[in-house]
Amino acid sequence: MAAILLRWACCLCTEGQVVHTLPEGLPVVGITTLEEQVYVLRWKECDQVEVYDVTSFCLLCCLTVPNAGRFVDMTSCKHFLCLYISDYDVECVHSLDLQGDATQWPVSDEPHALSVNAAHNVLVTCLSVHKIKEFSPCGDLLRDVTLPDDVINPTHAILLTSGQFIVCHGLFDDPVHRVCTVSADGREIVRSHGGQPGSDTDQYNSPTYLAVDNNEFVFVADENNQRVTLLSPTLSHIRQIVSRDQVKWNPGLLCLDVQRRRLYVADNEWNDEDDTYTSGRVVVFSV
């Protein structure tokens, strides 16, 4: 197994190469792939989900999410063939099938990033209350995991095969910006990478999003350092997989297509004067 992981790590040790860039437009707040298509979620009042062909990257159609507030993230479930979209203002998750039919269910806290686990349940990271909530596909709350007090502003969480969580946290002036493996009950930090915010190899400046491959190598969107970092399953630094020279603005969201060895990166422009994102695009990398 160690030899297999080493060979896989070597394959990933080169910087990703840009394959394509989807059109620039309104800020991108979600990316996922499903059924030979790429789904891009933008801040719009209608036609919020743009659907692209995964091979040609041609725009196929747009889907509208009804009763929408402020979207924060999107993920997909290959088993149930649907999209999940977190809505910060309405405090809910929207479920959207591939025909555009939508339902929604409450989170009862402000939801942030999403992921789907091996049991096809939805994990919702609730940043302001330091929690991970697990819901069934129909929206039943299955468990409510409170993270350690020093995991401040958790932005994204993924459940590993071990039952542990991998979590990234740290925004703005938070004293610690890092990626952590957290015990299954949420009480203990098992290992971590990062610490005081900065730009050195073992530092982050707003690690906002994660992607994990089938061997549990970890891709980290390091938004304000304008890079994506690759970590081993034990959270050791391997290398920078996307550099600041390959993005235009701030890479804040990721989607990993393991089958095609592609990494989709949301690259959004931040406006300090308005304190908001103003433009966005998706850059597709071969990894």
- The model's pLDDT over 197-245, given as tens digits with 9 standing for 90+, comes to 999 999 999 999 999 999 999 999 999 999 999 999 999 999 999 999 9
**Average of per-residue pLDDT values in the chain:** 93
pLDDT at 100: 86
Q: What is the dihedral of CA 57, 206, 241, 123, to 10 degrees?
A: -60
Encode pLDDT of 138-189 as tens digits: 999 999 999 999 999 999 999 999 999 999 999 989 999 999 999 999 999 9
pLDDT at 37: 97
Q: Is the Cα dihedral 234, 195, 247, 256 positive or negative?
A: positive
Tell the residue number behind the tokens 């297509």, with chain if given: 257
pLDDT at 86: 97
* Percentage of the chain modeled with pLDDT above 70: 95
Q: Report whether 239 contacts 227 (CB < 8 A).
A: no
Q: What is the pTM of this model?
A: 0.93
pLDDT at 272: 82
Is the pLDDT at 5 greater than 70, yes or no?
Answer: no
Kindly list the distances between the CA atom of residue 219 and the CA atoms of 43, 44, 59, 93, 251, in Å, as whole numbers in the listed order: 25, 28, 27, 25, 12
Q: Is 14 helix (H, G, I), strand (E, B) or coil?
A: coil
pLDDT at 6: 46
In this structure, what are the phi and psi dihedrals at residue 37, rounded to the nearest 5 degrees?
-135, 155
Give the count of beta carbons closer than 10 Å to the beta carbon of residue 234.
Answer: 11
Return the closest-CA partner of residue 188 out of 134, 237, 151, 133. 151
Instruction: Give residue 82's Cα distance to chain centre.
Output: 17
Top CATH class of 2-286 equals mainly beta
> Residue length, the chain?
287
